[in-house]
Amino acid sequence: NARAIGYNYEKYNNWDMIAAWTASIAAENPELVSRSQIGTSYEGRPMYLLKVGKSGSNKNAIFMDCGFHAREWISPAFCQWFVKEAVNNYGIDSEITNLLNNLDFYILPVLNIDGYVYTWTNNRMWRKTRSKNANSSCIGTDPNRNFNAGWCTVGASNRPCDDTYCGPAPESEKETKALADFIRSKHSVIKAYLTIHSYSQMLLFPYSYKNSVTKDHTELNSLAKAAVSQLNSLYNTRYTYGSGAATIYLAAGGSDDWAYDLGIKYSFTFELRDTGRYGFVLPESQIQPTCQETFLAVKYISNYVLNN
Ligand code: ING
Ligand code: ZN
C-alpha cells in the first residue's frame, strides 16, 4: 500500500493506487481528513469520499467530484492534488488554514471508477460507466447525461451505443445515484458543487440543459470571471467561461444543472487543459501546472462562498 507521503501526484495513478491513497491520506492526517464510502460501483468497487477540514460546528461545505468521464485523467489527478495541497499547507498558509477551519470539503476522487479502470486496461478513450444495457450489447451510460435536469431532452442520446447515452432513467447508474443521494442528504450545508472534467479550458455554470439564464446569472458570471482570472495569473492559460449552453453546448442531464436546481447556487463545471493538442491524453508533465492553476480558481471560489 502506497503511503500518501511519497505518493506521486505528478503521475497518473490507477484506481488501486488511488484507493490505497484515500486510506493513507486519511490515516496520516486524522485531524483534517476522514474517509467514508457513499456507494459501490456497478462492478462492485467502493466509492470513497474524503472529507477535508478541521472539525467544527455548523460548518458549511463545498462538494467537488472528479472522474465523471473515464478518459479525462487529469480530473482525478486534480482531486488528489487538491487534498495534498490542503493537508500540506494547513497551519502554514493562512488562506488554506482559514478555509479548512471554516469549511469542509467533500472530495470524491473518482465518480466513474469502473470506467476509469477500463481506460487503464482496455480502451484509453472510454467515457461512460460500464453497466449493461437491456436489449443492447453496448455498454455504459454517460454519467453526465444521467441526472434529473431536463433529462435526455437535448444534447444527449437515447441509444445505448452512443457516448452520450442518457441511460434508461435519471440516476439509473449506481454511481450517479450514490452521488445524488449524498448531495441530497447534505444539501443544506453544501454551498458549492464543483465537478471537474477535461478538456477545453472552460469554467461553466448553469444552465446547460436550456438556453435561458438562471436568476443568479450575473453573480455566477462575475464569480467565474474572477476565478478564471486567478487561474490565468499563474501561467497565462486562457479560459472561457459562461453558461454551459452558451459556452460549450446544450446538454441535458448534467450534474451541475441538477445541483443548481436542488438549491446549490454555486454550481460549476471545470473543463481543464488543454484545448485539443493532447486532449484527454494530457502529458504527465502538465499535471503540476494544470493542478496549480486550477487550485487558484478553486481557492477563489471557496473564499467567495465562505464570505457570501
Ligand atoms: N464536457 C461536459 C459533458 O458532459 C457539460 C460538458 C457540462 C455538459 C455541464 C453538461 C453539463 O459533455 C465534457 N468534456 O465532458
Ligand atoms: Zn467530461
Distance CA 306, CA 104 (A): 11
- Report residue 1's pLDDT band, with 50, 70 and 90 as the boundaries: very low
Are 251 and 150 within 8 A, CB to CB? no
Q: Which of 73, 25, 72 is nearest to 49 (CA)?
A: 25
Atom of ligand 1 nearest to the CA of 198: 14
Neighbours of 196 (CB within 10 A): 26
The pTM of the full predicted model, rounded to 2 decimals, is 0.98
∠ CA 102-302-288, rounded to 5°: 115
Q: What is the mean pLDDT of residues 223-235?
A: 98
Indicate if ligand 1 lies below 6 Å from the C-beta of 208.
Answer: yes
Q: What is the mean pLDDT of residues 39-54?
A: 98
Closest listed ligand to the CA of 271:
1
Output helix, strand, coil percentages for the chain, rounded to the nearest 5. Answer: 40, 20, 45
Q: What is the mean pLDDT of residues 20-49?
A: 98
The grid coordinates of residue 249 equal 453546448
Distance CA 35, CA 26 (A): 6
Give percent of the chain above pLDDT 70: 99
* Tens digits of residue pLDDT in 82-141: 999 999 999 999 999 999 999 999 999 999 999 999 999 999 999 999 999 999 999 999
Nearest CA to ligand 1 atom 11: 254
Q: Which of 73, 127, 248, 260 to mutate to test the pocket of ligand 1 (most atoms within 8 A of CB)?
A: 248
* Tens digits of residue pLDDT in 151-185: 999 999 999 999 999 999 999 999 999 999 999 99
- Report residue 73's pLDDT band, with 50, 70 and 90 as the boundaries: very high
Q: How far is the CA of 28 from the centre of ligand 2 (A)?
A: 31
Indicate if ligand 1 lies below 6 Å from the C-beta of 195.
Answer: no
Indicate if ligand 1 lies below 6 Å from the C-beta of 127.
Answer: no
What pLDDT is attached to residue 62?
A: 99
Quote the crossing angle between the two packed helices 287-307 and 74-89, to the nearest 10°: 60
Q: How far is CA 117 from the centre of its chain?
A: 17
User: Which is catalytic among the residues 171, 173, 271, 293?
Assistant: 271
Q: How far is the CA of 58 from the centre of ligand 2 (A)?
A: 33
Task: Tell me if residue 271 is catalytic.
Answer: yes
Q: What is the mean pLDDT of residues 40-52?
A: 99
Q: How far is the CA of 25 from the centre of ligand 2 (A)?
A: 26
Q: How far is the CA of 123 from the centre of ligand 1 (A)?
A: 20
What pLDDT is attached to residue 2?
A: 55
* Tens digits of residue pLDDT in 82-96: 999 999 999 999 999
Q: How far is CA 103 from the centre of its chain?
A: 18
Mean pLDDT rounded to a whole number for the chain:
98
Indicate if ligand 1 lies below 6 Å from the C-beta of 71.
Answer: no
Closest listed ligand to the CA of 65:
2
Indicate if ligand 1 lies below 6 Å from the C-beta of 204.
Answer: yes
* Tens digits of residue pLDDT in 287-304: 999 999 999 999 999 999
pLDDT of 56 over the 70 cut: yes
Indicate if ligand 1 lies below 6 Å from the C-beta of 254.
Answer: yes
